[in-house]
Amino acid sequence: MRRQVATAGSLSGSSVPPAMSERPHEAQAHRKSEAHHHHTHAANSRHPGHHHLLQVENLSVSFDMYDPGAPFLKAERRLVPVIHDVSLGVHEGEVMAVVGASGAGKSLLAEAIMGVAVPNELIKGRLWFDGELQDEAGIERLRSREIAFVPQSIACLDPLMRVGEQVRGIPHGKGAARKADEERRRKRQRELFQRYRLDESVEHLYPHELSGGMARRVLLCCALVDEPRLIIADEPTPGLDLQLAEAALADLRAFADEGGAVMLITHDIELALAVADRVAVFHEGTVVEETSVTNFESPELLRHPFSRELWHALPEHDFAVASSSVR
């Protein structure tokens, strides 16, 4: 697998620490109202230990591919960049929305943060969680425990496992502790099923027996059943009726209000502004602006032209889409 996550100092993985003038963002002191590192803070942004819960720096994703324009037998391999130089942070107590056009690579960004890659994918960058610089093994340990992922595709459900088992996951501990955790998970799974109008009998079904909306609700339950510190939700509401979509967003908002952190990935700017504290605007493979939701009250408060285009595209404003159209 051609995957690289730099673990210190530089993207190449050098063990030499950065110069003081180039200290990583996590090494710098933070104040709640301060604007720094290309973003401002929201009212709920918190910095326990003087750092973000999640901080991504200089993340790039490329694919090693054969040149599609060359003759089949003579095609040479080349590295095709898709995401470049992405830096963003998520604080405890907030919902950070990553917004941009459909097909812009936002799902790929989420998968890269989660450490999920295909064999010809090359990931470079640095990632801190709770102030600790992570390597590939560290991200794997965090996955599904400290960080929960709500994928966009319902095909992520295991077709050979009953959905109740998938939501409950693997209990922790040994002996009596393991039994207690198993019972806790079963109780929590049934509470979530009741909240999302999934009959108790659904836990015995396989994914192919679910409707699209039911499968999406199961994915939400998978993320909420444990006690993660960060939820990355990739387009969690398509296929849900308005009431269930509002309930799902309310759960994410409540999770953040109770001290957790949420990265909400969506192409729906209205949805983002309704539930988020801050917005990272994703355009042409990178984050062009990371800002508080309150700055979307007026285009003059937005730094990047594409952010201002998003503002103008909202129905309550001009509803005018400029050359870089938002889909």
Structural domain contains residue 20: no
The span from the CA of 106 to the CA of 72, in Å, is 31
Tokens at 111, concatenated:
């998968």
pLDDT digits (tens, 9 = 90+) for 46-83: 666 667 899 999 999 999 988 877 887 777 888 889 99
pTM for this structure? 0.79
The span from the CA of 96 to the CA of 78, in Å, is 34
Tokens at 199, concatenated:
């009959």
Structural domain contains residue 254: no
- CB–CB of 255/95 below 8 Å? no
Structural domain contains residue 13: no
**Residue 259's CB: how many other CB atoms inside 10 A?**
13
Structural domain contains residue 213: yes
Structural domain contains residue 170: yes
Q: Could you tell me the residue range of the domain that residue 183 belongs to?
A: 157-226
Structural domain contains residue 198: yes
Structural domain contains residue 184: yes
- Number of domains the chain contains: 1
- CB–CB of 55/26 below 8 Å? yes
3-state secondary structure of 3: coil
3-state secondary structure of 82: strand
User: Of the candidates 225, 150, 227, 229, which has an alpha carbon nearest to the alpha carbon of residue 192?
Assistant: 225
Question: Measuring CA to CA, how many Å separate 14 from each of 8, 25, 43?
Answer: 6, 17, 37
pLDDT digits (tens, 9 = 90+) for 213-260: 889 889 989 988 888 899 999 988 887 788 878 888 888 898 899 889
State the DSSP H helix or E strand holding residue 207, giving kind and residue range, or none if neither.
Answer: none
pLDDT at 265: 93
Residues in the chain: 327
pLDDT digits (tens, 9 = 90+) for 77-129: 888 899 999 999 999 999 999 998 887 889 899 999 998 888 888 999 999 99
User: Of the candidates 224, 269, 288, which has an alpha carbon nearest to the alpha carbon of residue 38?
Assistant: 288
Please state the φ and ψ torsions of residue 262, each to the nearest 5 degrees: -130, 130
Query: DSSP assignment, residue 8?
Result: B
Tokens at 90, concatenated:
């998520």
Tokens at 194, concatenated:
């009741």
pLDDT digits (tens, 9 = 90+) for 1-59: 334 444 333 333 333 233 333 455 555 555 554 555 555 666 666 666 667 899 999 99
pLDDT digits (tens, 9 = 90+) for 300-315: 888 899 998 888 888 7
Structural domain contains residue 48: no
